[in-house]
Structure 1
């Protein structure tokens, strides 16, 4: 084989190896930063597993909001219509945060409670995040909730 061709072959092999290593490192870095969305039913069913950080989505349960006087600590229930999980948060809640509204909280599970580090609220009356609406719809199908209860839930991604 010609020395020039041999050199080119080694260069191509080195470039392929380097690009493969770079792709593997990027994939590993992205995997560590992904947070999955679960409903309370999915968390209690064990679908969230032992993930350190995940998102809990659903509706703020009616009459569940409790504030600790003199602090920014608040606790509230997140429901998907089948189960309610208590979430604890310390900080300023979004202006649109209230009971019977869609919410997504990022954090971790501690026992039967969810410790939130970030809370996001929906942005208008007709909107529910698509991921939350789809997850709630799947939970209703899985638990065979009557169509009348499912009809009250907005369409996924509806505005």
Structure 2
């Protein structure tokens, strides 16, 4: 009789240790990914509900025509739009070769005082590609113009 009670006790201990290990590993994975998860927002979403200055996120849309201003150094300012709204963007670095006006782009960075400070800019890689998030945002705003 004591042997069955010992097996039952051992089984409960193993289940408890497994549950603690699972909870600990989940917490460590979440902690490790805290900076690796960037949410996508369209310019309309950013204007409607501006994120905090500490939040890193991705913004995407079309580069507004006539908005690209190149500074003295490698700083570039432009506006990204989804039609109904546009957000000013500042980027310091070398832009991709395919970065032009009225073309799709996705930037990663922070919104500081109403200006998106980008630390990474991605442009579409050929004339037919559009990032899925940008395409969805443009379709939602009614600005989607598929190439024929």
Q: TM-score range by the shorter chain?
A: 0.7 to 0.9
- Contact 1:67 1:75 survives alignment (8 Å): yes
TM-score (norm 1): 0.81
The alignment's C-alpha RMSD in Å is: 2.1
TM-score (norm 2): 0.86
Of 34, 44, 47, the match for 2:47: 44
Of 121, 131, 134, the match for 1:132: 134
- Contact 1:107 1:114 survives alignment (8 Å): yes
User: Once the 2 structures are TM-superposed, how far is the Cα of residue 25 of structure 1 from its aligned partner?
Assistant: 3.0
Mapped partners of 1:138, 1:99: distance in 2: 21
Of 72, 76, 82, the match for 2:84: 82
User: Once the 2 structures are TM-superposed, how far is the Cα of residue 20 of structure 1 from its aligned partner?
Assistant: 2.3
Aligned length: 144
User: Unaligned stretches of 5+ in structure 1?
Assistant: 141-149
Superposed, which structure 2 residues align to 1:67-146 within 5 Å?
67-69=70-72, 71-140=73-142
- Contact 2:78 2:89 survives alignment (8 Å): yes
Q: Which protein has the larger Cα radius of gyration, Structure 1 or Structure 2?
A: 2
Secondary structure of the residue aligned to 1:107 is strand
